[in-house]
Amino acid sequence: MFKLPAFAPAAVLAASLLVLPGCNKKEIALLQQQNSDLTKSRDQLQLEKDALQQDKARTETSLNNSLLNKDKQVTQLNQALGTTEQDLAGKNARIAEMQRILDEKDAATKALRQKVSDALLGFNSNDLQVNVKNGKVYVSLSEQLLFKSGSTKVDPAGQDALLKLANALTGNKDINVLIEGHTDNVPIKGVVNGAKDNWDLSVLRATEITRLLTSAGIAPEQITASGKGQF
């Protein structure tokens, strides 16, 4: 330990004054440097913090926007799904209604076929056929049952068959009757019963059958007559 003589107080004071200022400047300079470094570190950290906060804000904004877009997409998909389900329900209802109508029509066609078949039960199957095709009842009466070759006048047996057919059809306002007149392949010579050829003959036969059916009670507006000649 360094000791000064007791008789030299002025020297001690001078020495103290010389030492203290030197120590304070170094300490102050060091502290100032440390303070500057800390300030720089603080500023750098603040910049990094601000950058992180900005990045966080951008990320949150992006996530929120993405979430909003997803919510919009979900809403749109739900709306589209609802519309599709409504359309599907409507189509299913229409299909069910069409199926009901087809079933009713099919049942009515089968019932009509059975009624016509029962009405014509006593006739030879070679002269008469009753079939269902494409939802329609077809009744085919042979030329041998209805007409003599080249004639437009219906034979008695044919008149009986047509009368029974008319009785089976009378009262069915929802049906339409198409009569197709046919002939054999033997050409007529000259003018026969007003017919110049087989086309004329087939038409006259169809109109003759039409007259018989209407006189038996079938409404004329339900009947259409046409001639097919030999075909």
State the average pLDDT over residues 143-160: 88
Contacts of 225 (CB under 8 A, 6+ apart): 179, 181, 203, 206, 207, 209, 210
pLDDT band at 191; cut points 50, 70, 90: low
pLDDT of residue 20: 44
- What CATH code is assigned to 120-227? 3.30.1330.60
Question: Which two structure tokens, joined as six digits, stand for 199?
Answer: 């086309």
Burial of 181 (0-12, 13-18, 19+ CB in 10 A): buried
State the average pLDDT over residues 46-65: 92
pTM: 0.58
Asked if 159 and 210 count as a contact pair (C-beta separation under 8 A), the reply is no
Residue 82 has pLDDT above 80, yes or no: yes
Does the CA dihedral 20-23-26-32 come out positive or negative? negative
Q: How far apart are CA 156 and CA 209, in angstroms?
A: 12
pLDDT of residue 84: 94
Residue 104 has pLDDT above 60, yes or no: yes
Three-state secondary structure call for residue 179: strand
Q: How far apart are CA 37 and CA 109, in angstroms?
A: 104
pLDDT of residue 230: 60
Residue 6 has pLDDT above 50, yes or no: no
Average pLDDT in the chain: 83
Residue 47 has pLDDT above 90, yes or no: yes
State the average pLDDT over residues 125-152: 86
Residue 66 has pLDDT above 60, yes or no: yes
State the average pLDDT over residues 111-116: 90
